[in-house]
Chains A and B, each alone.
Chain A
Amino acid sequence: MSAGGATTVDMVVFGVLATLTTFFALFTITRRNPVTAVMSLVATFFCLAGIYASLSAHFLAVIQVLVYAGAIMVLFIFVIMILNREEVAPFSLRPLRVLGVLAGVYLLVKIIDVVTVGLPEAVPGAAPDGFGTVAAIGDVLFRDFLYPFESISVLLLVAIVGGVVVSRSHQKEVAAVEAHDYRHQIEELAHHDYPGEPPAPAAPEGYH
């Protein structure tokens, strides 16, 4: 790469990738079939990863594919397949449509603003040696931004524990309530010669 600017090859690569990204992004929001929409989003992420790689952010590119295309979108597909919904028109909620049009107009104005101002004259020079490598990213994450990084890790851990708690099965609580009822019946039998009226099944508490 020549110092201080993008070469023709860089521009061509960027042009192709940016076009594809936009194309797949449009595809994502216009498909009726949810699975096709999700696959278009996967393709969008893939092209974004290509743009990252062409900006010498290799680590970011690989993580983009690994986390977004390879893990999160698989979960999307999984959920869509389980729900197995009918194909619906992508724009169905009317109040949201008005909001969407407003947001679109706002975005368009902003883009026109940026484009008419023009790009800055001074193009930043080529990235320093080792930029975007695993070692460089590790240095930044674990030296300069150790505390923010660790606090995000803790936040994610809390989210995971929360998810486990919410999705945990409540069989043990149900069993405990049933055991309490049985004990109650046995105590009743100890005080009377005949089984009394069984206690009305109270609304189970302690689980939901």
Chain B
Amino acid sequence: MEYGSLAFQALAATIKIVFMILGFLMPLASILTWMERRESAMMQDRLGPNRANIGPFKLWGITHFMADAVKFLFKEDFVPPKAHKFLFMWAPIMAMAPALIVAAIIPFGPPLCWNELLEKNPVCGQPINLQIAQLDVGLLFYFAISSLAVYGATLAGWASHNKWAMMGGLRATSQMMSYEVTMGMAVLGSFLVYGTLEPGAIVAQQTHIFSLGHYHSSWGIFLQPAGFVLFLTAAIAETKRTPFDIPEGEPEIIGYFVEYSGLRFGMFFLGEFLEIVVSSAIMITLFFGGYHWGNTIDNALLSHLPNFVFVLAMFGLWTVKVFAFCGFQLMIRWSLPRFRSDQLMRLGWQRLLPISIANVVATALVVLWAQQ
């Protein structure tokens, strides 16, 4: 098969999609379902789930996620008699699908050099970009698709024909709408600094961790610290987890998925963790150099390893970064108390949004000044 032909591109894209979903997103999200309970147990001086095992292999209880999956599959799939059947069926899919779709724009490794797989320091005449879709609109695609995730929660609440579910749906709508605005404003600063919207191009620029001489190639966290904090806050609010778990609100209304059982509930459950993985990956892309680990490490690996081993190593190191970020998000959930609904709205509209707009204006002025 010839490089660059239509069949080659189609095959490469298919492999990348399958690898991204089955080799990265799903396993990581599944492990997070176990990790969340185990981490919370450790923080609260409990044991947590540590019993599930396959024969003698216990692995600290990691196999719990398989037990969960089996349990979800075999539970009764109950649909409330007065529910809107069609929307009740589709809501979990609408909640989970956006997280899988937006993963298409995340760059997960340096380009693979097709004709120089065994070379060290390749010229890379035939690169295969490790990113499913290189879109000119880039992160706008992320915002467009992830803004659709709100339908999952809203429709689940409405279609269940249950007052608590309905309230959860309404809360989810208002919360996700509010924080989407801040989220969009928070990354505008990064667009201005790197001069592009395309995540692959943004990562390709962040070769140094921090250097004054090449400030354009420093990690985003040093160029846009305020943008990072704002984006992190908004991203946690978008995943509807504590301290922003008003739509779920276990102590009061249970939330928009109160009527769901079995695999349909499992989809909401897994969808939440998928969103954590994807938002972590986007934050790594924008603010922590993507797959880059600084000039020194990158160059040492590049010159000492054959190309495909180098790519695999960089993918592994990128996974470490994403995993650390997921763990950080879990830790936030178990450290902070929850907001009240009015506090949530005040934080979103009266604190975060003005700060993010100020950040954009300040960044624009600095970029303009630096260009002259």
- A interface residue numbers (CB < 8 A to B): 33, 35-36, 39, 42, 58-59, 62-63, 65-66, 69-71, 74-75, 77-78, 81-82, 133-134
Cβ-defined contact, A81 with B147, below 8 A: no
Q: When chains A and B are docked, how far (Å) is the Cα of A67 from the Cα of B180?
A: 11
- B interface residue numbers (CB < 8 A to A): 84, 86-87, 135-137, 140-141, 143-145, 147-148, 150-151, 154-155, 157-159, 166, 169-170, 173-174, 177, 180, 197
Cβ-defined contact, B141 with A62, below 8 A: yes
Please, which residue of chain B has its CB at the minimum distance from the CB of A71?
A: B147
Q: When chains A and B are docked, how far (Å) is the Cα of A29 from the Cα of B348?
A: 36
Q: Min CB distance, B102 to chain A, in Å?
A: 12
Q: When chains A and B are docked, how far (Å) is the Cα of A33 from the Cα of B170?
A: 18
Q: When chains A and B are docked, how far (Å) is the Cα of A77 from the Cα of B154?
A: 8
The 6 closest A-B pairs by CB, nearest first: A70-B147, A66-B144, A65-B144, A62-B137, A133-B136, A62-B140
Cβ-defined contact, A81 with B136, below 8 A: no
Q: When chains A and B are docked, how far (Å) is the Cα of A78 from the Cα of B157?
A: 11
Q: When chains A and B are docked, how far (Å) is the Cα of A32 from the Cα of B154?
A: 19
**Please, could you name 26 A-B residue pairs with CB atoms under 8 Å apart, sorted by A?**
A35-B87, A35-B159, A58-B135, A58-B136, A58-B137, A62-B137, A62-B140, A65-B144, A65-B147, A66-B144, A69-B148, A70-B143, A70-B180, A71-B147, A71-B177, A74-B151, A74-B173, A78-B170, A78-B174, A81-B157, A81-B158, A81-B169, A81-B170, A134-B136, A134-B140, A134-B197
Q: When chains A and B are docked, how far (Å) is the Cα of A134 from the Cα of B144?
A: 15
Cβ-defined contact, A77 with B147, below 8 A: no
Q: Tell me whether chain A's interface is mostly helix, strand or loop, or mixed.
A: helix
Please, which residue of chain B has its CB at the minimum distance from the CB of A70?
A: B147
Question: What residues on A are CB-neighbors of B159 within 8 Å?
Answer: 35
Question: What residues on B are CB-neighbors of A39 within 8 Å?
Answer: 87, 151, 155
Supposing A35-B155, A82-B170 touch, asked if A74 and B137 sit within 8 A by C-beta, the answer is: no
Q: Min CB distance, A17 to chain B, in Å?
A: 17
Cβ-defined contact, B148 with A70, below 8 A: yes
Cβ-defined contact, B177 with A74, below 8 A: yes
Cβ-defined contact, B158 with A66, below 8 A: no
Question: What residues on A are CB-neighbors of B137 within 8 Å?
Answer: 58-59, 62, 134
Q: Min CB distance, A97 to chain B, in Å?
A: 28
Q: Min CB distance, A86 to chain B, in Å?
A: 14
Please, which residue of chain B has its CB at the minimum distance from the CB of A69?
A: B148
Please, which residue of chain B has its CB at the minimum distance from the CB of A74?
A: B150
Q: When chains A and B are docked, how far (Å) is the Cα of A71 from the Cα of B181?
A: 10
Q: When chains A and B are docked, how far (Å) is the Cα of A134 from the Cα of B139?
A: 11
Q: Interface centre among B136, B166, B174, by most A CB within 10 Å?
A: B136
Question: What residues on A are CB-neighbors of B147 within 8 Å?
Answer: 65-66, 69-71, 74
Question: What residues on B are CB-neighbors of A82 within 8 Å?
Answer: 170
Q: Interface centre among A35, A36, A62, A69, by most B CB within 10 Å?
A: A62
Q: When chains A and B are docked, how far (Å) is the Cα of A65 from the Cα of B142?
A: 11
Cβ-defined contact, A66 with B143, below 8 A: yes
Please, which residue of chain A has its CB at the minimum distance from the CB of B198?
A: A134
Cβ-defined contact, B84 with A33, below 8 A: yes
Question: What residues on A are CB-neighbors of B157 within 8 Å?
Answer: 81
Question: What residues on A are CB-neighbors of B154 within 8 Å?
Answer: 74, 77-78, 81
Question: What residues on B are CB-neighbors of A33 within 8 Å?
Answer: 84
Question: What residues on A are CB-neighbors of B197 within 8 Å?
Answer: 134
Please, which residue of chain A has its CB at the minimum distance from the CB of B157?
A: A81
Question: What residues on B are CB-neighbors of A63 within 8 Å?
Answer: 140, 144
Q: Min CB distance, B139 to chain A, in Å?
A: 10
Supposing A71-B177, A81-B170 touch, asked if A66 and B140 sit within 8 A by C-beta, the answer is: yes
Cβ-defined contact, B140 with A35, below 8 A: no
Question: What residues on B are CB-neighbors of A58 within 8 Å?
Answer: 135-137
Question: What residues on A are CB-neighbors of B180 within 8 Å?
Answer: 70-71
